[in-house]
Amino acid sequence: MQYCSVVAQEIIKHYKYDYRSNPIGTGPFHFKMWDEGNKMVLLKNENYFEKDKNGDSLPYLDGIAISFIKDRDIEFYKFLSKEIDFINEPRGDNKDAIFTSDGKLQPEQQNKFNMLITPQLNTEYLGILVDDELDIVTKSPLRKKLVRQAISYGFDKKSMMAYLRNNIGKPAYAGFIPKGLPSYNEDIVKGYSYNPEKAKELLFAAGFPNGEGLPEITIYTTKDYVDLCEFIQHQLNEIGFKIKIDLNPGITHNELVARSKVNFFRKSWMADYPDAENYLALFYSKNFTPHGPNYTHFKNFEFDKLYEMAQKETNDSLRIHYYQQMDMILIEETPIIPLYYDEAVRLVQKNIKNLGVNPLNLLKLKKVKIN
Residues 10-44: tens digit of each pLDDT: 989 999 989 888 888 888 999 999 999 999 999 99
Its CATH architecture, for the domain 9-118+348-370, is 3-Layer(aba) Sandwich (3.40)
Span 48-63, mean pLDDT?
Answer: 96
Q: Which residue has the higher pLDDT, 240 or 8?
A: 240
Q: How far apart are CA 5 and CA 24, in angstroms?
A: 11
The closest of 209, 92, 193 to 152, measured between CA atoms, is 193
Q: For the chain, what percent of residues have pLDDT higher than 70? A: 100
> Is the model's pLDDT at 82 over the cut of 80?
yes
Q: Is 282 within 8 Å of 130 (Cβ atoms)?
A: no
Average pLDDT, the chain: 94
Q: Is 342 within 8 Å of 178 (Cβ atoms)?
A: yes
Respond yes or no on whether the N-terminal peptide bond of residue 107 is cis (omega within 30° of 0).
no
Classified as helix, coil or strand, 370 is strand
Q: Do domains 9-118+348-370 and 121-342 have the same CATH topology?
A: no
Residues 284-295: tens digit of each pLDDT: 999 999 889 999
Q: Which amino acid is at 341?
A: Y
Classified as helix, coil or strand, 180 is coil
**DSSP annotation of 316:** H
> Is the model's pLDDT at 133 over the cut of 80?
yes
Residues 135-188: tens digit of each pLDDT: 999 999 999 999 999 999 999 999 999 999 999 999 999 999 999 999 999 999
> Is the model's pLDDT at 226 over the cut of 90?
yes
Q: How far apart are CA 93 and CA 309, in angstroms?
A: 47
pLDDT band, very low/low/confident/very high, at 352 (cuts 50, 70, 90): very high
Per the CATH hierarchy, to which homologous superfamily does domain 121-342 belong?
Answer: Dipeptide-binding Protein; Domain 3 (3.10.105.10)
- The residues spanned by each domain of the chain are 9-118+348-370, 121-342
